[in-house]
Amino acid sequence: MTSARISDLASHAGQSVTVRGWVTHLRSSGKVAFVVLRDGTGVLQTVLVKNAVAPEVWERFSHLTQETCIAVTGEVRADARAPGGYEMGLNDLTVIGESPLDYPIQPKEHGIDFLLDNRHFWLRTPRQVAIMRIRSEIEQAIQDFFYERGFLRVDTPILTAAIGERSGLFSTEYFEEGNAYLAQTGQLYGEAAAAAFGKIYTFGPTFRAEKSKTRRHLTEFWMIEPEVAFNDSEDNMKLQEDFVSFLVQRVLERRPAELKEVERDVTKLENIKAPFPRINYTDAVATLQAKGSAVQWGDDLGAEDEALLVADYDRPIFIVNYPKEAKAFYMKENPDDPRTVLCNDCLAPEGYGEIIGGSQREDDLGKILHRLREEKLPEAAYDWYLALRKYGTFPHAGFGLGLERTVAWIVGSQHIRECIAFPRMMHRLRP
């Protein structure tokens, strides 16, 4: 007997095949029954007629429960009444793995805490399957975008000495070396690699021990960080807008069924094309003050301010050249206004907020040393990073795109935690 995956059943119409999967719905009308199963590639409705199957098959059917793993055999036929357009007239049914009656996920609304406690099962539901497929599509698109443009992927270490951003670090014992810290960014290694390979990107998990409890934060998240030798801040933004547009267009082209499953308004995504508006920080402050915000020049922009700015646009926007006090030590001083640095945030539309932080990097050894000392960072920990400015320093720029935030925006999710298979948050380490 031929076995098939549900997604391939159209090519088996009229044939008898075996499909294996998990029971999602059971419906019975006495002598006609429906068993709906899921195999990860799709959903199949099978039809069981009591008088047309062996008594033992009907008996096995009558004991089925939600999520029982089964094998069904029968003829595939087109039927408009079936989800997916094809159904199976069931001849045989065998149980592969039983499922007790207390399976926690029901076909109804559940609270988020309950769902996260049952994430290992929640993942089986249609919306979650669609989100994970879109995430995987985006990950593939990321690889394709950079590969097609001649970038080298460089995998940077996850265990590091204390180096990176200012916010919280996770630490662990590391042999005779004292503590190691989980990487908050691959950027500094990316800069070293850019001098070796010209155009690189990193793509991996990053860790922040921030005590954040918002819809936009995870303690473990995946970040894409390109770094390009000889790019300036404007080149950097051009790369960002091409990149983000590429990801959105790819999902629109290849995952329309999944976008429909998550009920995304795709007309909002169809607008996402380069160029994105660039708003100077100083102009943004003036605009915000005119709109009634209390923000003062020198303040970082709060979530409310960002929402006010992005509300006027139908695509992501760049906020460029923030005051240096608001940003990291490695960002290059703006020659036209030394109070500021050559950087940008990219804010997604529809209130999804910051998805990218990027900058041209400070390439002057004296200036970066000065900033490092202003920030009271441990100079010794940065010795190799500073040496990049000593031996053949070079202008370069890069950015970091948060994968889960990007997925949340593209699928229209209210929460980042359904955009990664097993989210890690301040109070959640399992499953």
Binding residue (CB under 7 A) for RNA from 1, 11, 29, 175 = 29
Task: Please identify, using beta-carbon distances, which residue of 87 and 137 lies nearer to RNA.
Answer: 87
Q: Which of 18, 34, 125, 252 binds RNA (CB under 7 A)?
A: 34
The piece of 7-15, 75-83, 190-198, 368-376 that touches RNA (CB under 7 A) is 75-83
Site for RNA in 243-282 (CB under 7 A): none
From the list 210, 232, 234, 235, which residue makes contact with RNA (rule: CB under 7 A)? Answer: 210
CB nearer to RNA: give 1 or 101.
101
Q: Which of 3, 31, 178, 263 binds RNA (CB under 7 A)?
A: 31
Residues 106-135 interacting with RNA (rule: CB under 7 A): 106-114, 116
Binding RNA (rule: CB under 7 A), the pick from 8, 144, 265, 304 is 304
**Closest distance of CB 385 from RNA, Å:** 16
Task: Select from 10, 15, 40, 49 the one that contacts RNA (CB under 7 A).
Answer: 49
Site for RNA in 320-379 (CB under 7 A): 326, 328, 345, 353-357
Choose the binding region for RNA from 143-151, 268-276, 369-377, 402-410 (rule: CB under 7 A): 402-410
- Binding letters toward RNA, positions 156-185, x by CB under 7 A: ---------xxx-----------------x
Nearer to RNA, 101 or 380 (CB): 101
Residue closer to RNA by CB (options 28, 178) is: 28
Using CB under 7 A, which of 39, 75, 79, 234 touches RNA? 79
Q: Does 75 bind RNA (CB under 7 A)?
A: no
Shortest Å distance, C-beta 331 to RNA:
10
Does residue 214 interact with RNA by CB under 7 A? yes
Q: How far is the CB of 419 from RNA (least distance, A)?
A: 9
Residue pair 211/426 in contact (Cβ under 8 Å)? The answer is: yes
Q: With binding defined as CB under 7 A, does residue 392 bind RNA?
A: no
Among positions 5, 12, 20, 25, the unique one binding RNA when judged by CB under 7 A: 25
Alpha-carbon gap, residue 157 to 139, rounded angstroms? 20
- Give Cβ neighbours of residue 257 (< 8 Å, ≥ 6 apart): 130
Residue 81 C-beta: closest distance to RNA, Å:
3
